[in-house]
Amino acid sequence: MEQKGRNTVKVLIVGSGGREHAIAWKTAQSSRVDKIYCAPGNAGIAQIAECVDIGAMEFEKLVSFAKEKEVDLTIIGMDDPLVGGVVDAFEKEGLRVFGPRKNAAILEGSKAFSKDLMKKYNIPTAAYETFEDAQDALAYLETAKFPIVLKADGLALGKGVLICNTLEEAKKGVQSIMLDKQFGSAGNRMVIEEFMTGREVSVLSFVDGKTIQTMTSAQDHKRAKDGDQGLNTGGMGTFSPSPFYTEEVDEFCREYIYQATVDAMAAEGRPFTGIIFFGLMLTEQGPRVLEYNARFGDPEAQVVLPRMKNDIVEVIEACIDGKLDTIDLQFEDNAAVCVVLASAGYPEKYEKGFVIEGLERFDGQDGYYVFHAGTKQTEKGIVTNGGRILGVTAKGADLKEARANAYKAADWIDFENKYLRSDIGKAIDEA
Ligand code: AMP
Ligand code: GLY
């Protein structure tokens, strides 16, 4: 498709979390963009985009909307629509869309697929077995070493991974994944894999089918409570860059993981265009892939995008056009920390509907950002409307300064039942 002039691109972003707010904020910086829509969006995104009440899984409505409004570029933020084939639905109608097709989004959509891919192409990852039958899985456990890791094959809102310390626990895990179907059809198959130890790092990348360019590294904090205690969540905070992602680690990953993954997908007839998120573990034997995601991480996007120097629309268009090799991807030489403000009780039971105070404190504050996740505009003002409410991000010259700034800014916000971890980025002190 021919490229239009500057300031004429209309963008639609699909999703409603902090990640999509960060993408929308970055898109709004683009000199090429004159209109942003978001489906369905949230109260924060509504301040920079026109939110439309279409769900991320309503492909037909999304496609009709994009046609009707003459949207030039649609960016898919979330995993579910990607795995469900939203990109194929847009492409079928000749619409430009950023994200992997269904046959490539399987990289995230099926753990068995991604493990088999890594095995076939010698990409370093934990040893594993795949099971389609619960009895076979149970029999395998009898001779296995513990701890061991059980993974539901399909998407399970980030909750389909169980680390089991004993045979008893593992048997219960197989029962709940494969027989009780705790994660629905995601548990029709499962992967059982070797337990690894080491630091975790998230590396996001832009991919155009053949070329890959990695972004700056980040680290997530998945557990609900300080000291990595409590239940797994969608992420309670992030920092970027990771001081543990050294040049040596980067070199290893470039040689054995990044391009190898993109080449493997192409060789399988599943060329990947979009974002590949590499969940890595830095083990004593070297970096290993824990998982792939087919989209930006959340809250990783909330620390990575504020540090990106490029115009995101230019990078995305280069990906779609297969010209990523012409882009000089650059990040600021600083650091960012994101502290998630959640509702007490998250990720289990929590209340909604409390007025959020202090959002205006971020206006005009360079290097401070408040990305909305679970918020809603009401007559009373913006209120809490989910488990994760806001991501408060701050930059600093280094990680320590960024962390101090992020915690200072987290204090600007107040709402009933506000909950946050107090140790986001604590690992920085050990670096
Ligand atoms: P995943 O959704 O595959 O990233 O798994 C969620 C979390 O489970 C990861 O971030 C790790 O903390 C942990 N995990 C996954 N696989 C392993 C493994 N093989 N060994 C140790 N921890 C793991
Ligand atoms: N923060 C982890 C994820 O987005 O999957």
- Checking if the pLDDT of 4 tops 60, the result is no
Q: Distance between CA atoms of 107 and 115, rounded to whole angstroms? A: 9
Q: Distance between CA atoms of 27 and 96, rounded to whole angstroms? A: 16
> Between 3.40.250.10, 3.30.70.260, 3.30.1490.20, 3.40.50.300, what CATH number should domain 127-194 receive?
3.30.1490.20
Decide whether any atom of ligand 2 lies within 6 Å of the 300 Cβ.
Answer: yes
- Checking if the pLDDT of 150 tops 70, the result is yes
Alpha carbon nearest to ligand 1 atom 4, residue: 291
Give me the pLDDT at residue 83, please: 97
Q: Distance between CA atoms of 192 and 298, rounded to whole angstroms? A: 26
Ligand 2 center from residue 43 Cα (angstroms) = 22
Q: Where are the domains of the chain?
A: 10-101, 127-194, 199-430
Give me the pLDDT at residue 160, please: 86
At 61-91, the pLDDT tens digits run 999 999 999 999 999 999 999 999 999 999 9
Give me the pLDDT at residue 200, please: 95
Ligand 1 center from residue 331 Cα (angstroms) = 28
Which of 108, 155, 300, 388 for mutating ligand 2's site (highest number of atoms within 8 Å of CB)?
300
Give me the pLDDT at residue 156, please: 86
Alpha carbon nearest to ligand 1 atom 9, residue: 290
Ligand nearest to the CA of 373: 2
Percentage of the chain with pLDDT > 70?
98
**Tokens 């021919």, residue?**
2
- Checking if the pLDDT of 5 tops 70, the result is no
Alpha carbon nearest to ligand 1 atom 1, residue: 291
Ligand nearest to the CA of 114: 1
Alpha carbon nearest to ligand 2 atom 2, residue: 297
At 12-65, the pLDDT tens digits run 999 999 999 999 999 999 999 999 999 999 999 999 999 999 999 999 999 999
Q: Distance between CA atoms of 36 and 393, rounded to whole angstroms? A: 22
At 266-307, the pLDDT tens digits run 999 999 999 999 999 999 999 999 999 999 999 999 999 999
Q: Is the dihedral of CA 111, 114, 117, 122 positive or negative?
A: negative
Instruction: Provide mean pLDDT across the span 330-337.
Output: 98
Q: Distance between CA atoms of 77 and 69, rounded to whole angstroms? A: 20
Band (427; pLDDT cuts 50, 70, 90): confident
Which of 204, 281, 298, 300 for mutating ligand 1's site (highest number of atoms within 8 Å of CB)?
281
- Checking if the pLDDT of 244 tops 90, the result is yes
Decide whether any atom of ligand 2 lies within 6 Å of the 235 Cβ.
Answer: yes
Ligand 1 atom having least distance to the Cα of 279: 4
Ligand 2 center from residue 107 Cα (angstroms) = 15
Q: Is the peptide bond before 243 cis (omega within 30 degrees of 0)?
A: no
Band (402; pLDDT cuts 50, 70, 90): very high
Band (234; pLDDT cuts 50, 70, 90): confident
End-to-end CA distance of the chain: 47
Ligand 1 center from residue 290 Cα (angstroms) = 6
Give me the pLDDT at residue 3, please: 52
Ligand nearest to the CA of 234: 2
Higher model confidence: residue 428 or residue 224?
A: 224
At 161-194, the pLDDT tens digits run 999 999 999 999 999 999 999 999 999 999 999 9
Give me the pLDDT at residue 431, please: 78
Ligand nearest to the CA of 288: 1
Ligand nearest to the CA of 149: 1
Give me the pLDDT at residue 1, please: 44
Decide whether any atom of ligand 2 lies within 6 Å of the 109 Cβ.
Answer: no
Give me the pLDDT at residue 164, please: 95
Decide whether any atom of ligand 2 lies within 6 Å of the 220 Cβ.
Answer: yes
Ligand 1 atom having least distance to the Cα of 194: 19
Band (214; pLDDT cuts 50, 70, 90): very high
- Checking if the pLDDT of 217 tops 60, the result is yes
Alpha carbon nearest to ligand 2 atom 4, residue: 297
Ligand 2 center from residue 234 Cα (angstroms) = 6
Ligand nearest to the CA of 201: 1
Closest CA to 160 of 143, 146, 174, 144: 174
Higher model confidence: residue 431 or residue 354?
A: 354
- Checking if the pLDDT of 6 tops 80, the result is no
For domain 10-101, the CATH class is: alpha beta
- Checking if the pLDDT of 2 tops 90, the result is no
Burial of 306 (0-12, 13-18, 19+ CB in 10 A): buried
Give the contacts of 329 (CB within 8 A, at least 6 positions apart): 206, 213, 215, 308, 310, 315
Residues near ligand 1 with C-beta < 6 Å? 126, 149, 158, 161, 163, 193-196, 200, 222, 279, 290-291
Q: Distance between CA atoms of 215 and 246, rounded to whole angstroms? A: 14
| CATH number for the domain formed by residue range(s) 199-430 | 3.30.470.20
Ligand 1 center from residue 43 Cα (angstroms) = 32
